[in-house]
Structure 1
Amino acid sequence: MSDQAIFTEDFKTTPYWWDAAPPETCLDALPARADVVIVGSGFAGLNAAVELARHGKNVVVLEANELGSGGSTRTGGMISSGQKLVVGGAIKGIPPDLFQHMIADSIASFAFIQTLVRSEQLDADLFIGGRYFGAHTQKQLASLYEMGDILHRVTGVTVHKVDQENQAAIIGSRFYHGGILVDEYGGVHPGKYNRALRALARQHGAQLFSHARVKSVKAEGGGKVVYTERGTVQAESVIFLTNGYTEKDATPNLAKRIVPVKSYQIATEPLPRELLERLIPSGRMITDSRRDLIYTRPSPDGTRLLFGSRPGIMDCDEKTAAIRIRQRMLAIWPELAPYRISHAWSGFVGMTRDKTAYAGEMDNARFAVGCNGNGVALMSWLGFRAAQKLLGTEPRPLSFERSNFRPIPLYNGKPWFVPLVSGWYRLRDAIDKVRD
């Protein structure tokens, strides 16, 4: 099949998630005043809005583009508890007491999103059916087993160590040398989840505005003035919950500390149900042990395969990315070669230098950023906790609120070094495979 033939006739460069729950436009005039202005309409911003409005605050949410068009609805929609802190390597260099508090907050974030979806009956396609971490090499299998022991010990999740001969019940491929299966992990439909949060925030009285890019925030008269492309809003407090979409014009200091890294995904056209069930029995989430990892899952309705990865060292357009990512997908499942790609899209992940989240105050506002590729539950929780901080209702200090959020050397908001890091990751992955 030629490169151009791999695309469906109605191929889209927008997220698959938007088909069921598109972003929205609200161009109503901005109010002159608010108790709290929240910048960002992702999972963090909307959860903050829900909690603040629920407690009687006059809340205004400002989004630079369409509501729900940022990183939250461009993600793979996977949720977990503390996995990134352990498997992602953030455990290194963190004092043991602080690490325990971070794990506790991560576990709380996982519980929070499940409780929220169920108690509010949000239409989010919540699925708790497990996630498999596949070992790219035999040596990495031993490392995954060790990480599984740590995950079980520090987060309490149920971890199964799986060898290659027994992984067929989890993934219909021999690409991996085995891996670990975590029962409690799962996912949501991020488009539907964001839409449900928008409705819930409005239900409690929050006002949401699209196409209101924030240019700056200034402290004036004991409060804050938020300057946007559509006018100004005076507020008692401002919270930036922009993560990978943090802009240096609005928050110049914060932008020096958070790196937007582009992640890409594709969706196949509808597959035969029996094929998809053979590729990923029980519909679990799948990722692997590579530094330049992949992440994949069935669509919540069980009709398509969604597959995410970086397409190479350099960023590229979505169609070029789809061609390259499809090759990574076919390396795992060659039987997908006859099937076409219906969607390809990208979004920015907010990365920090130590792979952990941060919260605090900067640029005349509060902030919470740094999902590091694990943001659906964590950013939901950080938004909720940012609201609690303003309300004075937080039960204990947030572990991610630390004073050592240092700027990244030689970085001023443009991630020039990402191709170098990506290339280094791919090189090390290739060396590991050759040595295996």
Structure 2
Amino acid sequence: MHHFAYRDGALFAEDVDLREIAEKVGTPVYVYSSATIERHYRLYEQAMASITPGRKPHVFYAMKANSNLGVLKTLAALGAGADTVSEGEIRKALAAGFPPERIVFSGVGKSEGELAFAVEAGIYQVNIESESELDLLSRVGERLGRRQEAVFRVNPDIGAGGHAKITTGSSANKFGVSFEDVHRLYARAANMAGVRIMGLAVHIGSQIRETGAFEAAYAKMRDLVLALREEGHRVDRLDLGGGLGIPYEVPRDFDHGPGLIEAYAGMVGKLTAGLDVELGFEPGRLIVGNAGILLTRVLHLNPRPTKQFLVVDAAMNDLMRPAMYEAYHEIWPVAEPAPGTAAVAYDVVGPICESGDTFTTGRELPQQKPGDLIAFMTAGAYGASMSSTYNQRLLVAEVLVKGDQFAVTRPRQSYEELIGTDRSPPWLS
């Protein structure tokens, strides 16, 4: 379940009235629920622990979904690891309290400097995605006098996901080494001085709401583990990535029960039975997606002969998903509508000078007026983490709620800070 509900006629985050946050922090603002984050992480970890008796599963939170420091510290305190895709994410994970031995480094374009930082930090694992990266990592490790533990991320040519832009397991996608090259690369790596190959990884996509594609990919990975061992190679780890999806069409009585998570865990347990490997998982959206909302205020109504535009102070630079992925978000008014309130079909849009700055079209909502507050639900993943300053708009603020308390965990950028990131060339000073 998420912890956003109406109470006494107003929408609350846990025990905090969202109207209070809007008044004290301003809008637009992201609001995250600690209780939801904690519940979803525990559900996931317990399900994975059920298939790894006597061996704690490695759950690495995919921090690209939401890298807010308060969110990260909440998960680090629960014992989660961190799945990172840049030096900046590694640095932030360390700052949030994730120990280096609980950090993995993924991504297709790791630079020499980033790999050197990861090796020197002593992270748990690098997920290698190409032969040239293997060579680079070995050179970096040898130069630093380390033998970095790593796995090969394999592209199983089985892609899945809620949109073409978040499908990663097809041979047409840029991620991972090809299935056909793994045997040769494994043999090459065995004699390298700066890298120690520990196993394999796979990740086929994001926002996947059924287990069939996972099962097909993991069956191929099981066969690959056995084949590599037949060749005499050590395969101690199998990182199965993330990608489990969440419901974006969230009714008000929604309870995010463990059904899909349990089905996924059962399938993984069946396919990995008897393999004797350390299993790793990289959930992101599943943990934080339903834990966040984007709170925004109505600026203007702009009626037309055939439609009604509802202009809010949030924009595509604050929440990119609808413009980028045609993504759906429920929209809840902060003031609870009375039973029988008339609905109006709105095109909900932001202030940016782009027609693409549209959150939804023809959405029926209770009649709104300037100054009203509405919430984009299920905005905890790939919301603030993808935000920008397009149109020279200030980076959006973020708030974390814990019970009846809330704290600003990313202050809204000031105009001085925004302009101060630029430098004037000397001939124009």
The bucket for the TM-score relative to the shorter chain is under 0.3
Superposition TM-score, scaled by structure 1 size:
0.25
Indicate the structure (1 or 2) with the bigger Cα radius of gyration: 2
